[in-house]
């Protein structure tokens, strides 16, 4: 009788050692069979009552050895399951298997272009100034020397807040000029990116919301030549080192003299003729020397300080850069459109 039991122990030991454990299910089956609450070894141990007294000790030792062997095997396989550091040593792990695709987002083309512009000016010491999109008419118009009867102030052109004729959605980032000049002392050297709003019919070429970047430089002895050189530097960083610019006389209520800056785009193909209306030149921004009236409005003495300002739209530059023909695509957030910018920073 007892020799039978010893033979069974031997069999179990061999079975434990030969067990095939290749995945979690097999490992769990192994655990239940040899280490679970109703495991085979317990049952074997219960047979101790049938063992001769002289061999009881030997029997106990053997069953313990069985149990320890089962535990060791279980532990070593458990460590080799996925998610543990032994993974790499597991022959069953296919390191070349493709992983779940990780979807990466993309920057919006408006952000890409805006960030590039900001970085160009940051390199020459401009700092970012961000301000509110809901403005009062003083900062947006009055301080900027825009007369009471100017058409831009009209409800037809500007979004006013409900029941208000003073609170509005800013129509240009020039309002940031007034915000900064009334709170900071010169020298001032800021770049102000942000969203602006105008009451315009939405079409492929214009939208009621768009983005601008404003620049303002106030110090002693700032000249028109300083402005021209700063903008030439910008144009060459943005559009290539050989880029040519031209300044055309223009008018803005808040600058005097005022100009519009064009960059030479070229006339190499039909698109260029269409985009530049046959001139080869593209208008990029408005600029000028800050009108002394504006400085006075904002509490800066024009006898001591002078400065220049400029403002440019972002959407048109993004459209030129990426050959986007409809401005509305920039505001629809269609992921098929946005996906094209994955990896562009």
Q: In this complex, which beta carbon is closest to ligand PHE, that of residue 239 or of residue 310?
A: 310
317 contributes a contact to ligand PHE by CB under 6 A = no
Instruction: Write down the least CB distance from residue 258 to ligand PHE, Å.
Output: 6
The Cα 191–Cα 174 span in angstroms is 11
309 contributes a contact to ligand PHE by CB under 6 A = yes
Q: In this complex, which beta carbon is closest to ligand PHE, that of residue 66 or of residue 295?
A: 295
41: which 2 tokens? Answer: 């070894």
Q: Which of 190, 310, 315, 316 binds ligand PHE (CB under 6 A)?
A: 310
* HSE toward the beta carbon, residue 238, CA cutoff 13 A: 29
Question: Taking a C-beta distance cutoff of 8 angstroms, is the pair 194, 287 a contact?
Answer: no
The Cα 57–Cα 60 span in angstroms is 5
**Which positions from 167 through 196 interact with ligand PHE, judged by CB under 6 A?**
172, 174
* HSE toward the beta carbon, residue 42, CA cutoff 13 A: 8
Q: Which of 311, 316, 318, 330 binds ligand PHE (CB under 6 A)?
A: 311
C-alpha 239: how far from chain center: 23
Instruction: Write down the least CB distance from residue 275 to ligand PHE, Å.
Output: 20
The Cα 224–Cα 243 span in angstroms is 20
85: which 2 tokens? Answer: 């550091």
**Which positions from 201 through 220 interact with ligand PHE, judged by CB under 6 A?**
214
27 contributes a contact to ligand PHE by CB under 6 A = no
3-state secondary structure of 225: helix
Question: Taking a C-beta distance cutoff of 8 angstroms, is the pair 300, 180 a contact?
Answer: no
Q: Which of 110, 286, 297, 330 binds ligand PHE (CB under 6 A)?
A: 286
281 contributes a contact to ligand PHE by CB under 6 A = no
255 contributes a contact to ligand PHE by CB under 6 A = yes
Q: In this complex, which beta carbon is closest to ligand PHE, that of residue 36 or of residue 302?
A: 302
What separation, in Å, do the N-terminal and C-terminal C-alpha atoms of the chain show? 81
Q: Which residues of 181-219 are buried (b: 16+ CB within 10 A; e: fewer)?
A: beeeebebbbbbbbebbbeeeeeeeebebbbbbbbbbbe
Q: Which of 109, 186, 288, 307 binds ligand PHE (CB under 6 A)?
A: 288
252 contributes a contact to ligand PHE by CB under 6 A = yes
Binding range to ligand PHE, per CB under 6 A, among 87-95, 272-280, 304-312, 323-331: 304-312
Q: In this complex, which beta carbon is closest to ligand PHE, that of residue 12 or of residue 258?
A: 258
**Which positions from 39 through 68 interact with ligand PHE, judged by CB under 6 A?**
none
Which residues of this protein are in contact with ligand PHE, per CB under 6 A? 172, 174, 214, 252, 255, 286-288, 309-311
């Amino acid at each position: 009788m007892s020799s039978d039991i010893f033979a069974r122990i031997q069999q179990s030991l061999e079975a434990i050692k030969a067990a095939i454990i290749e995945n979690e299910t097999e490992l769990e089956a192994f655990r239940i069979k040899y280490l679970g609450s109703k495991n085979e070894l317990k049952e074997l141990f219960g047979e101790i009552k049938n063992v001769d007294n002289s061999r009881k000790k030997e029997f106990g030792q053997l069953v313990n050895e069985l149990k320890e062997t089962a535990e060791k095997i279980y532990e070593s396989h458990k460590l080799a399951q996925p998610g543990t550091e032994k993974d790499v040593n597991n022959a069953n792990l296919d390191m070349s298997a493709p992983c779940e695709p990780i979807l990466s987002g993309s920057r919006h083309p408006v952000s890409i272009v805006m960030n590039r512009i900001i970085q160009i000016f940051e390199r020459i010491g401009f700092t970012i100034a961000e301000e509110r999109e809901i403005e009062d008419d003083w900062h947006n118009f009055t301080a900027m020397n825009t007369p009471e009867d100017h058409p831009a102030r009209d409800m037809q052109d500007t979004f006013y807040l409900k029941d208000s004729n003073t609170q509005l959605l800013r129509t240009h980032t020039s309002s940031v000029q007034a915000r900064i000049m009334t709170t900071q002392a010169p020298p001032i050297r800021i770049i102000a990116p942000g969203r602006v709003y105008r009451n315009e019919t939405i079409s492929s070429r214009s939208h009621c919301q768009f983005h601008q970047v404003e620049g303002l430089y106030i110090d002693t002895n700032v000249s028109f030549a300083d402005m021209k050189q700063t903008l030439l530097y910008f144009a060459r960083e943005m559009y290539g080192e050989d880029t040519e610019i031209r300044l055309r006389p223009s008018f803005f209520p808040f600058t005097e003299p005022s100009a519009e800056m064009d960059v030479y785009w070229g006339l190499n193909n039909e698109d260029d003729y269409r985009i530049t209306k046959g001139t080869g030149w593209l208008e990029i921004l408005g600029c000028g020397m800050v009108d002394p009236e504006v400085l006075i409005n904002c509490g800066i003495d024009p006898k001591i300080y002078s400065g220049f300002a400029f403002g440019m739209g972002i959407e048109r530059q993004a459209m030129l850069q990426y050959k986007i023909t409809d401005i509305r695509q920039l505001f629809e957030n269609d992921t098929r459109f946005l996906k094209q910018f994955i990896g562009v920073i």
